[in-house]
Amino acid sequence: MTLDSMAWLILVPPVLSFWLIVLFFNRWKRLSHGIAIGAAFLSFLLAQGIVVAGLRMGGERLGEEPIHSLLPWLPTGTTVLSLGVWIDPLTVALLFFVSITVLAIFVYSVGYMHGDPKYSRFFAFISLFAFGMFGLVVADDLLMLFIFWEIMGLCSYLLIGFWYHKPSAYRAAVKAFLTTRIGDVFMLLGIAYLYSQTGTLSYDVLFRDHAVLHQLATTPSVIGGLSVAALAGLLLFAGTVGKSAQFPLHVWLPDAMEGPTPVSAMIHAATMVSAGVYLVIRAFPLLSVGLESAVGTPPMLAMGLIGAFTAFFAATIAVAQNDIKRVLAYSTISQLGYMIAALGVGAYVAAAFHLVAHAFFKALLFLGSGSVIVGMHHHQDMMEMGGLRKKMPITFWTFVAGGFALSGFPIITAGFWSKDEILAQAFHAAQSGSWLGWYVYLLLALGALLTAFYTMRQISLTFLGEPRSEHAEHAHETPWTMTVPLIVLAFFALTFGFVGVPEDFPLLGKLFGGNFFHHFVGATLMEEEAPLPLNWVPLTISIVFALGGLFLGWWIYGRKPLKAGERDPLERALGKLHTVLKNKYYVDEFYNWAFIQPTIRLGAWVYKWIDRGVIDGILHTAAAAAMASGRLFGWVDRVVINGGVDSAARGIGRMGDEGRRGLQTGLVQDYIFILAVFVILFVLVYFVRGAGL
Amino acid sequence: MVTVQQVVFALFALMTVGGAVGVVAARKLFHAALWMILSFFGVAGLYILLEAPFFAALQLFIYIGGVAVLIVMAIMVTRGIMGPKEPVFTYAVGAAGTAFAFLVMLALFIVNVPAWMGSAPTGEVAPDGMRQLGRALVMPSAFLLPFEVASVLLLAVLVGALFIAREKE
Amino acid sequence: MVPLSWYLLLSALLFAVGLYAVMARRNLIGMLMGLELMLNAINLTLIAFWRYLHPYNLGFQALVIFVLVVAASEAAVGLALILAVFRLRETEHVDELNLLRW
Amino acid sequence: MNVLQFVANLFVNVGAWMGEVLHGWGLSPLWTAIVVKFLAGLVVAGGPLAAVLFLIWYARKVIGRIQDRMGPTNDGTAAGPFALLQAVADAIKMLTKEFIFPHGRDKVVFLIAPVLVVAVAVAIWAVIPFGPPDAGMQFVDLNIGVFYVVALASLTFFSMLMAGWSSHNKYANLGAFRAVSMIVSYEIPQMLALLVPVMLAGTMGMQGLINAQEVPFIVMAPIPALIYFLAMTAEVGRLPFEQAEADAEIVAGYFIEYSGMLFGAFYLAEFINNLSASFVFSVLFLGGWRGPWVEQAPILGLVWLSLKAFLVFSVLTFFWGAMPRLRIDHILGFSWKFLTPLALVMLMVTALVDKIVQIVGERGPSPSVSPWTRAGWLFLANAIVALVTAWVLYQVEKRQRAQREARRFAVVR
């Protein structure tokens, strides 16, 4: 079997399983999960086969001659629209983690969804989702990517609203669908723009042909000052902002936690949101073409600004959350921000590396939290937990592994290596005199500290101390279908990082083959940039920040665990420990005020308006402000951004209401008339332009 | 000099357009359907003139034998036997007229492409064109995928139309 | 021979008349008939282009077949919908079917 | 050239002679060709009309005998020996009768319908090959011949719908609905069955189909032939598929309001359709004009084909006399639930078996497959499908009987 036919075959089992379950086996629960897992397993085998073959070929060869297979789809006269598969080192990396996480999550779902009345339907939907993700990964042009992108959007909608009898769930589903749609429209515009300029959407031409790239970079676009490449890149990036939940379109992701936990793990942590990052990584040659100043091209500038801001901003919010899944949701947003910001400073490989590593540990964390939720009989408030370490040992240890990876615990976790590479790259950019580099580095480093802190807070609140509620008293370990995926993922969360150890790292660099990942994935771009030499400054800083954050979290929450009834840790912090917190948080405080002052002011104002009681805390202690500001961002999030969107919608509604309602007559022939007018206009414009009149 | 073909063309063109005008203007819907069939016939004749007899037969088979039959039966089911007297047009006559005029003017404008004015085709029709078309429709490198999609569409239509039109208990 | 432009103008005229029927006829079935005329015009254009400009390009012919498929599907589903509407509202006049306004 | 030779290739010779005569009158070659073609058209159109006069007599005789009657006789009338001229007499009677137009009819449509139905019936004859390609016995050999026949048949719907609608009569409407829904249903198995000979011959042209029938297709494809025959019977409205008229239920169906020669037109068209369907069946499955000595005397082709068609027509007539009428829903169900699936299966089985025989045969000692070998395998495949079908039908029947009896006993209890 050739590699390209294997790539095609990856797509078949999931979609087949979807149709089989939907059409025939809806009634048989065991059969449907059997089919779905079987399909996932087949895809897994095929994908790993490709990974092995790709590794054997080596990055350089695969990067130079990617496996490319075309299937003509719609021949129209002289042009042919094709579907195709495209396997290059980046695809291989993606296939590696997507197939593993998908399989793990499928198996996990058997335990998590046990007893749900819509069990079969759930497996059908996640099969369709897996189809979308695999298709997106192996797609060979932007059109096919967009098609699968939208298939995943649909699945996301279906799965977030899976328990549609809950009003919050279906509202979240609609919100997710609409919010991502904003990005998608821009993205489609970008794709259409590229097509109109080049007549093709194939990766092979758009991202690899230097002549085309150069031409795109030098042609001015319709918007003054931007080249075609820059404008198209910005539009594509808008799609990423929606899909990967970056500021200001991140609002849907926390709400999406209304879906079942495997969905949160799969869609909203491991794979779908990764698709957005994958898009920008894939399009990086286009985004970075014409790089002149140290600050980067307009799309890179946008990515750096938005990514770093999001990374920090979301981390602060995560500090103040009590829902076990919401903490993880904000953490996901924050980590995606890391990857985007890395691309903003040109760290192509580091972004891909963190993408893979993050997928492993975030899937693990979500599945772990799902395990906790099942053990707790579907209660998600961390204030009601505590002491689960003894009741759920496997969940605890794997969760700790994931948490440490997320925090970047030195040496033994994947998160450390990947995050460190991003930070080193950002630091490098900063050293070479780019203000964007400083901006990105500082925000990301602070974000790393916060990340470690909230992770430890979460672990402590959930697992340490004594049970704080009835449910926690009676918690139990979950069945093997749930724990085995946890263990598998924990293995990867800990060890995956060793494929990307910097070459000159003492001892380990030689031991693990000298930054294998960098060379492999870096070969995707035809001119590979050499990995940075090891710089001890950012490395030390990130180790200190990671460990410091973890220690801080332990100091506050783990050293003297909460007792039952002490509901709000923030109030507790404010009341008794505020002096300690004050000293510890002084630096964060400063950076908060220095970098996102306007947001905080706005937040403070909103906060005061909503809840007078807590504002005093800010006035009393700056340390508390750091904690509170996280919460403020939560409010900003909900009130300013959601409120803004809502009021805009309401405004449009009112506009329609108070206007003559002229267009909406409900009579089909009026619509046809409007259609005819526009068709005639377009033809006219096209013809006049074509004739050069 | 008027050639035989031009005369035949004029005849079929008259049939086509006359039938179309009949569709628009006929008071009784049944008559409109009959005019439509006349128009279809004209188009079939033009296909023969264009040396595409297969499509002429398809035109008869699908449009007249399928679409027109469906439409006539729908008319007979919905309007009683003869159909009561009622206005033919909606308020949108003016708009439609404007669109019509614009479209025709646009066509007159657009058609002035030199390559389109020549009266001789650029080549002969391949003698085994139909065989080639048949092959192309099932060849993976040509139209296999659209062809299969079309078959799925037809199946969906079969089921969907039955489902929609069915009397619900 | 007949110039290609004659065919093109003829099909444009057919299309325009069909559009008029769609826009102005009060009866849903009448609109549907106009739609069929428009599709016919498209097919005529395609066949004429095929014959005159690219007698060896099968793409035109294949496209005609797909247009036929779509036309047949549209008639079947459209009429089924009209029947359903008629059963529900006892009318098939477009100007009485405006439940979707505002 | 002696008389025998002249007759042996009659049509070509007559055509050539006519051409010479016309040319002698000073007509240009183009106009000569046009006039000769026109005259040939008259012959083709007149042929069925003449044949039908005989066939009406034949059918009435046969049915009379089946029903233990005499049929038309010449006792006390001037209908000629054995009442052979009965049909002519009927035609004269009809021509003299008054047209009665129902109240509220749509006059133009009412008048077009019978004209259209006869025109369509006659137009089919243009493509029927009565003799070998060069014998001047086919009006035009379209390369889509059989498809033309099917496409034209769809026009018959319209004459029915027009007649039904314009009569302003609910029986007429019902008749039209029934007829059209039945014909539309049977058109599908008919088309599918038709595709089998087309596939075996590799062409849709009538002459091509006959050329391919060294072994008549009825041997290679007996089941499709049967399906085609049944669908054809439905198409021409013969019993047991006589729903369109069903005089006991809806009093003569869509042409209830027609009288005089207008009625005669429908009657005529029905017979012409019967006849042309018989001809098409003979061409498709019975080898067309093939028969002994056709090479020597092409005119014999006409004889063989006519004999075959007459045979088919006779079977149709026996059906007419012997079969009861079925209920409309049974008829439609039979088409959709039995004939259509079976025809699909046959299409696939034939394609598969034929291809396998070809591939295997080409590997064998002789490079090409003899037609009889091919026919043997295809016949075997047909036989197997027939057995399987019979088994399935038997199982279904058994289960249904069991259900029926269960129900009966349940009622008793």
**pLDDT tens for residues A542-566?**
888 888 888 877 777 776 666 665 5
Q: Is residue D342 part of a domain?
A: yes
Output the average pLDDT for chain A: 76
Q: How far is A69 from chain B (nearest CA, A)?
A: 12
- Name the pTM for this structure: 0.65
D184·B34 Cβ contact <8 A: no
- A427, A318 contact by CB (below 8 A): no
Q: Do B122 and C58 touch (CB under 8 A)?
A: no
Architecture of domain C4-96: Orthogonal Bundle (1.10)
Sequence-distant (≥ 6) Cβ neighbours of residue D204 within 8 angstroms: D143, D144, D145, D146, D147, D198
> In the prediction, which pLDDT does A663 show?
57
pLDDT, tens digit, for every residue of B28-41? Answer: 888 888 899 999 98
CA angle D76, D78, D81 (to 5 degrees): 95
Domain count, chain A: 3
State how far the alpha carbon of D68 is from the alpha carbons of D57, D62, D64, D316, in Å: 16, 10, 6, 19
For residue D233, tell me if it sits in a domain: yes
What pLDDT digit, counting tens, does each position of A438-484 carry? 888 888 888 888 888 888 888 888 887 777 777 777 777 777 878 88
- List the single residue in A with minimal CA-CA distance to C19: A676
Full domain range(s) for residue D97: 90-358
**What is the 3 state secondary structure string of chain B?**
CCCHHHHHHHHHHHHHHHHHHHHHHCCCHHHHHHHHHHHHHHHHHHHHHCCCHHHHHHHHHHHHHHHHHHHHHHHHHHCCCCCCCCCCECCCHHHHHHHHHHHHHHHHHHCCCHHHHCCCCCCCCCCCHHHHHHHHHCCCCCCHHHHHHHHHHHHHHHHHHHHHHCCCC
For the ranges A523-532, B72-81, C87-96, the lowest mean pLDDT is seen at: A523-532
Q: Which of B85-89, B159-163, C60-64, D9-13 has the lowest mean pLDDT?
A: B85-89
Do A388 and A461 reside in the same domain of the chain? yes
Look at residue D372 and tell me if it is in a domain. Answer: no
**Residue A224, pLDDT score:** 67
Give the per-residue pLDDT at D389: 92
Q: Can you give the pLDDT at residue A371?
A: 84
- Angle (CA) A211 A215 A218, round 5°: 140
Distance CA A175, CA A539 (A): 40
Residue listed under structure tokens 């970056």: A246
Domain map (residue ranges) of chain C: 4-96
With a cut of 0.85, is the ipTM above it?
no
Q: Coil, strand, or helix at residue C27?
A: strand
Question: What is the rounded distance in angstroms from the CA atom of residue A357 to the CA atom of residue A270?
Answer: 10
pLDDT of A634 > 60? The answer is yes
- Interface size A-B, in CB pairs within 8 Å, comes to 35
Tell me, letter by letter, the H, E, C secondary structure of D33-51.
HHHHHHHHHHHHHHHHHHH
Which H or E run contains A86?
Answer: strand A79-87
Q: pLDDT band at B86, cuts 50/70/90? A: low
Residue at A146 is within a domain: no
Does A513 score more than 80 pLDDT? Answer: no
Nearest residue of chain C to residue A667 (CA atoms): C98
Do C and D touch (≥3 CB pairs < 8 Å)?
Answer: no
Residue D387 placed within a domain:
no
Domain assignment of residue D323, yes or no: yes
What pLDDT shows up at residue D252?
A: 63
Distance CA A626, CA A647 (A): 30
What's the whole-number mean pLDDT along residues B101-119?
77
* pLDDT at C39 (0 to 100): 92
Q: Per-residue pLDDT for A50 more than 80?
A: yes
CB-nearest partner of B69 from D109, D143, D180: D180
Compute the nearest-CA separation of A514 from chain B (Å): 45
Same domain, A394 and A433: yes
Structure-token pair, residue B145: 């995928």
Domain contains A512: yes
Q: Are A561 and A475 in the same domain? A: yes
Same domain, A529 and A604: no
Contact A664 C101 (CB under 8 A): yes
Residue A574 pLDDT: 45
D in contact with B (at least 3 C-beta pairs within 8 A) = yes
Mean pLDDT across the stretch A332-342? 87
Residue B70 clears pLDDT 80, i.e. is over it: yes
Q: Are residues A534 and A579 in the same domain?
A: no
Contact between A76 and C19 using a beta-carbon 8 Å cutoff:
no
Domain that holds residue A420: 348-358+383-567
Residues on chain A touching C54 (C-beta within 8 angstroms)? 77
Q: Which of A87-91, A430-434, A665-669, D82-86 has the lowest mean pLDDT?
A: A665-669
Q: What is the pLDDT of residue D308?
A: 92
CATH numbers and ranges of domains, chain B: 1-83 (1.20.120.1200), 127-169 (no CATH)
Contact B53 D165 (CB under 8 A): no
The HSE-up count of residue A522 (CA atoms within 13 Å, CB side) is 16
In this prediction, residue A613 carries a pLDDT of: 46
Q: Which residue has the higher pLDDT, B128 or C15?
A: C15
Contact between A381 and A325 (Cβ < 8 Å)? no
How many Cα atoms are found within 13 Å in the side-chain-facing hemisphere of A48? Answer: 10
Cβ within 8 Å of residue A183, ≥6 positions away: A238, A239, A240, A241, A242, A243, A249
CA distance B21 to chain C (A): 7
Q: Do C72 and B66 touch (CB under 8 A)?
A: yes
Instruction: Answer yes or no: do A79 and A105 share one domain.
Output: yes
Mean pLDDT of B134-156: 85
Does residue A617 lie in a domain region? Answer: yes
Q: In the predicted model, what is the mean pLDDT of residues C33-49? A: 91
Please report whether residue A311 resides in a domain: no
For residues A520 and A596, membership in a common domain is answered with no
> Could you tell me which residue, C99 or D389, shows the higher pLDDT?
D389
Residues 6+ apart with CB under 8 A from A575: none
Which of C19, C77, C92 is nearest residue B157 as measured by Cβ atoms?
Answer: C77
With 90 as the cut, is the pLDDT of residue A577 above it? Answer: no
Number of independent structural domains in chain D: 1
**With an 8 Å Cβ cutoff, are C102 and A661 in contact?**
yes
Q: Are residues A354 and A409 in the same domain?
A: yes
Contact B72, D161 (CB under 8 A): yes
Spans of chain D below 70 pLDDT: 1, 75-79, 239, 242-252, 366-367, 411-413
- Greater pLDDT, A514 or A219: A219
Give residue ranges of A with CB < 8 Å to any C CB.
Answer: 75-77, 656-657, 661, 664-669, 672-673, 676
pLDDT at A580: 31
User: Where in A18-78 does DSSP place strands (E)?
Assistant: 67-76
**Contact between C94 and A672 using a beta-carbon 8 Å cutoff:** no
Q: Is A199 on the interface with B (CB under 8 A)?
A: no
Handedness of CA A615, A618, A624, A628 (dihedral sign): positive
Stretch A110-138: mean pLDDT: 86
Q: Does the distance separating the beta carbons of C24 and A666 come in below 8 Å?
A: no
Percent of all residues in chain A with a pLDDT value above 70, rounded to a whole number: 78
